[in-house]
């Protein structure tokens, strides 16, 4: 029997300076957070910085926004190492990838293409932000931490840290799935649920 895994992923990306950046600049993954779930249990957490290749020097805007340093990123793994890790998950069994928004997979796909690496995933993809939007009937997509706070819960750790955001995505996923099951299992109340028909029949039999 093939094992199945759900992988919650969040990336942080390099960012251009508002002025003076090359026209061919594109965002690269600089931090990866991964949470692997099997049989509803977390079996693995992974957090690592990733060295950008095309534009290795981070902008001051990026470092300030993400509270990240050049030294941290320089000490990170390569994109090839990250992709190899994802390939390892595929070898274990069937993978479903869950992200908040579609940007993570778009950037991963683009980074792989530019680095001449095969895109590692072939299974199901879930954009949880769209699932959340459809489930609650929102007109606009909601930010990750606003969504968890709308549930009356707190996010995990610090926003814009990849592993913390991946764990928060898992948290919301479980809340939404629980609500879906509740709605599916809720049957319409009938009059028989509200009164004891046996007592009523005995009353009229007297």
Q: Using one digit for the tens of pLDDT, what is the confidence trace for 36-63?
A: 999 999 999 999 999 999 999 999 999 9
Q: What is the pLDDT of residue 148?
A: 84
Q: Does residue 137 lie within any of the structural domains?
A: yes
Tell me, what's the pLDDT at 134? 86
Over residues 92-105, mean pLDDT: 94
Active site residue 160: yes
Torsion of CA 156, 162, 166, 169, to 10 degrees: 70
Residue 150 backbone zone (phi > 0: left; psi -120 to 50: alpha; other: beta): alpha
Looking at the domain assignment, is residue 52 inside a domain? yes
Using alpha carbons, select from 86, 125, 88, 95 the residue that is nearest to residue 4.
95
Among 12, 28, 31, 171, the active-site one is: 12
From residue 112, alpha-carbon distances to 46, 74, 79, 121, 163 in Å are 20, 19, 8, 11, 21
Does residue 69 form part of some domain? yes
Phi, psi for 124 (deg, rounded to 5): -80, 140
Q: What local confidence, expressed as pLDDT, does residue 190 receive?
A: 46
Q: Which residue range(s) make up the domain with 151?
A: 4-184
Could you tell me which residues are beta bridge partners of residue 37?
A: 6, 42
Q: Does any domain span residue 195?
A: no
Q: pTM value?
A: 0.85
pLDDT digits (tens, 9 = 90+) for 133-191: 888 877 677 888 888 888 878 777 888 899 999 999 999 999 988 887 777 765 444 44
- 62 occurs within a structural domain: yes
Catalytic residue among 38, 48, 131, 160: 160
Number of domains composing the chain: 1
Question: What pLDDT shows up at residue 200?
Answer: 38
The answer as to whether 126 is a domain residue is yes
Q: Which two tokens stand for residue 112?
A: 């792989």
Tens of pLDDT, residues 1-35: 568 899 999 999 999 998 878 889 999 999 999 99
Asked whether residue 200 is assigned to any structural domain, the reply reads: no
* 48 noted as active-site residue: no
* Token reading at 78: 């390569």
**Secondary structure class of 76 (helix, strand, coil):** coil
Residue 138's domain is classified under what CATH number? 3.30.420.10
Whether 194 is covered by a domain: the verdict is no
């Amino acid at each position: 029997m093939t094992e199945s895994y759900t992988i919650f992923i969040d990336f942080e990306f390099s960012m251009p300076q508002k002025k003076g950046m090359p026209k061919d600049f594109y965002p690269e993954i600089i931090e990866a957070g991964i949470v692997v779930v099997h049989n509803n249990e977390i079996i693995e957490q992974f957090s690592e910085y990733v060295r950008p290749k095309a534009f290795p020097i981070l902008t001051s805007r990026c470092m300030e926004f993400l509270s990240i340093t050049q030294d941290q990123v320089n000490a990170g793994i390569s994109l090839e190492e990250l992709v190899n890790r994802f390939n390892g998950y595929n070898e274990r069994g069937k993978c479903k990838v869950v992200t908040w928004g579609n940007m993570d997979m778009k950037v991963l796909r683009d980074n792989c293409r530019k680095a001449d690496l095969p895109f590692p995933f072939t299974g199901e993809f879930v954009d949880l932000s769209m699932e959340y939007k459809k489930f609650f009937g929102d007109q606009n997509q909601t930010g990750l931490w606003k969504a968890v706070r709308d549930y009356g819960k707190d996010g995990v750790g610090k926003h814009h840290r990849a592993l913390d955001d991946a764990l928060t995505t898992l948290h919301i996923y479980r809340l939404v799935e629980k609500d879906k099951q509740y709605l599916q299992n809720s049957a319409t109340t009938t009059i028989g649920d509200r009164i004891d028909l046996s007592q009523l029949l005995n009353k009229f039999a007297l």
